[in-house]
Every structure is written in structure tokens, then in C-alpha cells.
Amino acid sequence: MSTRTDISATARQELAQARRIVVKIGSRILVQHSGRPEMRRIRSLVRELAKLRQADREVVFVTSGAIGAGMEVLGMRRRPTNLPELQMAAAVGQSRLMTRYDKLFARERCKIGQVLLTHDDLKHRSRHLNARNTMLTMLSAGVIPVVNENDAVAVDEIKFGDNDLLASLVVHLIDADLLIILTTTDGLREPTASGRSRRMAFLESVTPEVLALAAGKGSALSTGGMVSKLEAAHAVAKTGAAVVIADGRQSGIIGKILAGEDTGTLIRPAADQCTESLTGRKRWIAFFHKPQGALIIDDGARRAIERDGKSLLPVGIKKVDGEFETGAAVDIKIADQTLIARGLVSYSSHDIRLIQGRRTDAIAGILGAANYEEVIHRDNMAIMHASSAKHGVL
């Protein structure tokens, strides 16, 4: 019988097989507290990324540091606290950042291309597909996409921190095998009886207990703590991709990870915990929409969705949480708040409250018209609960 240590060692050895890799490097790795770049470290990491490309691996580099670079150019001693100044610093800094990367990668004979994204770019289906096609074309041409949130017009990265969410979405966007998140710690740590902490080398899942261990405080240059990294890892691991959170200050760290060395925290779920059959449009629904509310369903509706692959009808809805319009993404949960699925609604929250618990043939009499029989059609629904994947519902 395999031990946990054996499983961890095997999972690490499998990292060497990863062909499409997303590497996210946080601003605390790239930029000093003063706003000046950590040039020696940046040069070293660029060389590592270039080696991956030269070894015929496909690499996407998710960078932070635009605000810090802008602070340097603008002579700011402290990170701005208001949104217009943050976005100004990001706009100025992004240009400086890409100029720096272009020169460094050119020395390694690697071509790069800038990709600036907002959450809206990935939420809207046509723009989502355009972004995917562009990045896949770049990868097939041997170009390394350098991805950053478009901070000059987007708020999410500034509010949620260090592009961890963006990196996880890029993994889903291009169907990557591995996400490497480089930060200033050697992974997730847990307390010991002696009062010291020890590194957690391997996790099969990101549980509420694991999240409770994570310290989420950021620095002046970065608001991204371990919590956001674990949340990103949780989203990625759902589809079976591996995630490693490691210390980006360690020399040769990317090579060590891909050589299977015991460094950082590896998050790799067991096969029966994955919803890896999510593809295409269903994956877009599952991971690229921010839920605007939730529908609490009964056991009959759960069985119909999970076992039989049916749509969600009003009769199975017990409660509506939140306010949302037609077409919004919502979570589908059972009474204990377990997430079963995510979908795009055919009716607003107001109308769903009026028809919840009622038969389909009652909709027209209540709303004046029955435009749809389903509150969420199965084609607009992605199953999120791992046990459901075994039934082939996805």
C-alpha cells in the first residue's frame, strides 16, 4: 500500500512531464521595498524561463511589479493609496517592465509578447476565445506570453492581490499542466508542538483547515498573501493540474521543481477529487465568472443534476441568495452550502423567488409568460462537485 510520502514523491517526479507551464512571479520577488527592481533575481529567473522554452516546453510568464516599476519611474517613495494614482503607476510601470523583459529575454535568444487582460476579457465568450487563440498561437510559434492584469483600466488585481487569480485563469484558458507560483516563502507552513513551523510538502486538497493556516497579510508592494495563492491553487487543482508554491528567491528554483526535488508545497489532487472532464464552454462557465448569487436546491434536484444530467427546474429550488439579473452566473448549492454546480440563469433573482418550488406549468401564470422551462439549462451548467464527475454528467 502506498504511503503519503510515496504519493508525494511520485507526484513530484511527474512534474518533469509537464509540457505547458504557467509561472507566476510575485512583485515581492521582482521589486524591492523602495520600488527598485531586483535585477539580479530577475535576470536569474528570466534565464530559467528561457531554458524551459529552449527545452521545447511551452511557457507563460504571469508577472506582477508594474506598480512598483511605475513608482520607480515617478519617484514615488510609498505605494499610492488611491485608485487613480495606483492605475497611473501601473500604466507607467508596465512600459518600463516590458522594456526590461524584452532586453533580458533577447539576451537568451527568446521572443516574448505582452498580453494584458481584464476579468471582463475572460468572462465574455468571444473575447475569451480570442485571448485563448492568441496565446496558443504565440506558444506554437515559440513566443513566451508575458501576462499581466491591465491595471490601468481594471481594479481586480489591485484589490485582490498579486495576480494569483489571473494566473489560475490562464491555466484554465490554455489547458496548462502545471502552475508554479513563486513567492517569498518556501510554501505553506504549519505549526509544530515545539512552537516552530514546518513546511507542508504535499497537499491533495485545499480545505478550510488548510486555508486557516495561511497568513494572508501582504507588504506595501504586494497585497497577495498565502490565502490568495491557495485559493488559486484550489481552482487549478479541480481540473487535475498540479500547483507548486515555492520560494522564488532560491537559486534555480524552477529547475529544481521540474527535477522533482522536495521544495515548496505541491498541491496535486487524487484523480477522484477532480472535475477534469470540464472542457470548453463548461470550463468557461465554471471558472471565468464571478458568482452573483446562489440557488439552494433540494435532494431531488441534486440527484437530477448529478446522476441524470438534467437541467435545474424551479420545483427543486428551496432558496435564492443574492440579487442578480437574467444571464448572471450563480452557484448551485445544497442546504449545507456544498457547491454542486455553477450556471447561467434564465431568470432574474426576483422572478426565481416567485417561481421557486413550483411546477414548470405554473411559470406562465405567475410571471405572465414562460420564456424558459428551466431556471438553468444543463447546457449552461458546469458540475463542480467532484463526485458528480464520476457519473459522466459533465
Distance CA 270, CA 264 (A): 19
Whether residues 197 and 268 share a domain: the answer is: yes
Q: Give residue-wise pLDDT tens across range 71-87.
A: 889 999 888 988 899 99
- pLDDT value of position 35: 67
Residue 394 lies in a domain: no
**pLDDT band with cut points at 50, 70 and 90 for residue 162:** low
Determine what percent of the chain is predicted with pLDDT higher than 70: 88
In this structure, the answer to whether residues 264 and 299 fall within a common structural domain is: no
Write the single-letter amino acid at 14.
E
For residue 76, what are the CA distances in angstroms to 38, 67, 85, 114, 189?
A: 17, 10, 10, 25, 34
Is the CA virtual torsion 289, 292, 298, 301 positive or negative? negative
Q: What is the pLDDT of residue 271?
A: 59
Calpha distance 308→141 (Å, rounded): 43
Same domain for 121 and 232? Answer: yes
Please tell me the predicted confidence (pLDDT) of residue 217: 47
Same structural domain, 209 and 67: yes
The predicted model scores a pTM of 0.86
**Tens-digit pLDDT profile for residues 174-209:** 999 999 999 998 988 877 777 787 888 998 888 777
The pLDDT score that the predictor gives to residue 270 is: 59
Q: How many CB atoms sit inside 10 A of residue 112's CB?
A: 22
Average pLDDT, the chain: 87
Q: Which of 220, 241, 273 is the last residue of a domain?
A: 273
Query: Among candidates 233, 226, 342, which has minimal Cα distance to 293?
Result: 342
- 28 vs 4, which has greater pLDDT? 28
CB atoms < 10 A from the CB of 368, how many? 7
Q: Would you state the pLDDT for residue 193? A: 75
Kind of pairing, strands 197-199 and 58-63?
Answer: unpaired
85 and 218 in one domain? Answer: yes
Q: Which of 273, 289, 311 is the C-terminal boundary of a domain?
A: 273
Check pLDDT > 60 for residue 222.
no
Question: What end-to-end distance do the CA atoms of the chain give, in Å?
Answer: 31
In this structure, are 304 and 192 located in the same domain? no
Nine-digit cell string for 138:
504565440
Same domain, 325 and 226: no
Which domain covers residue 146, as residue numbers? Answer: 4-273
Whether 142 and 256 share a structural domain: yes
The 10s digit of each residue's pLDDT in 118-150 is: 888 898 999 999 999 999 999 999 999 999 998
Count of Cβ atoms closer than 10 Å to residue 103 Cβ: 10
Q: Who wins on pLDDT, 66 or 358?
A: 358
CB 320 within 8 A of CB 330: no
**205 with 14: CB under 8 angstroms?**
no
Instruction: Looking at the structure, tell me whether residues 231 and 352 fall in a common domain.
Output: no
Collapsed DSSP state (helix, strand, coil) of residue 143:
strand
Q: Which residue has the higher pLDDT, 152 or 2?
A: 152
- C-alpha radius of gyration, the chain, whole number: 22
Calculate the alpha carbon distances from 107 to 38, 43, 55 in Å. 18, 10, 17
Above 90 in pLDDT, residue 297?
yes
pLDDT reported for residue 224 = 47
- Say how many domains are in the chain: 2
Q: Which of 214, 248, 273 is the last residue of a domain?
A: 273
In the chain, what is the greatest distance between 2 CA atoms, to the nearest angstrom? 70
Are both 30 and 161 inside the same structural domain? yes
CATH at residue 76: 3.40.1160.10
Domain annotation covers residue 56: yes
Mean pLDDT of 14-19: 94
Q: Give the model's confidence band at 274: pLDDT under 50 very low, under 70 low, under 90 confident, else very high.
A: low
33 and 78 share a domain? yes
The mean pLDDT of 337-365, rounded to a whole number, is: 97
Grid coordinates 491533495 are at which residue? 204
d(CA 330, CA 153): 25
- Residue 386: pLDDT band with limits 50, 70, 90: low
Do 226 and 288 share a structural domain?
no
- Paired residues of 265 in beta bridges: 245
Is a pLDDT exceeding 70 seen at residue 6? no
Does the pLDDT of residue 57 top 70, yes or no?
Answer: yes
Highest averaged pLDDT of the listed ranges 211-220, 347-356, 381-390: 347-356
| For the chain, percent of residues with pLDDT exceeding 90 | 62
User: Per residue in 32-42, is it b (16+ CB within 10 Å) or e — as a string?
Assistant: eeebebbeebb
Residue 144 · residue 110 · CB < 8 Å: yes
Is the per-residue pLDDT at 104 higher than 70?
A: yes
pLDDT score of 160: 42
Q: Does a structural domain hold residue 375?
A: yes
**178 touches 242 (CB < 8 A):** yes
- Residue 3's pLDDT is 56
CA distances from 367 to 212, 286, 380 (A): 45, 29, 22
Give the separation between CA 126 and CA 224, rounded to whole angstroms: 30
What's 370's domain CATH number? 2.30.130.10
Residue closest to 170 by CA, chosen among 145, 187, 152? 145
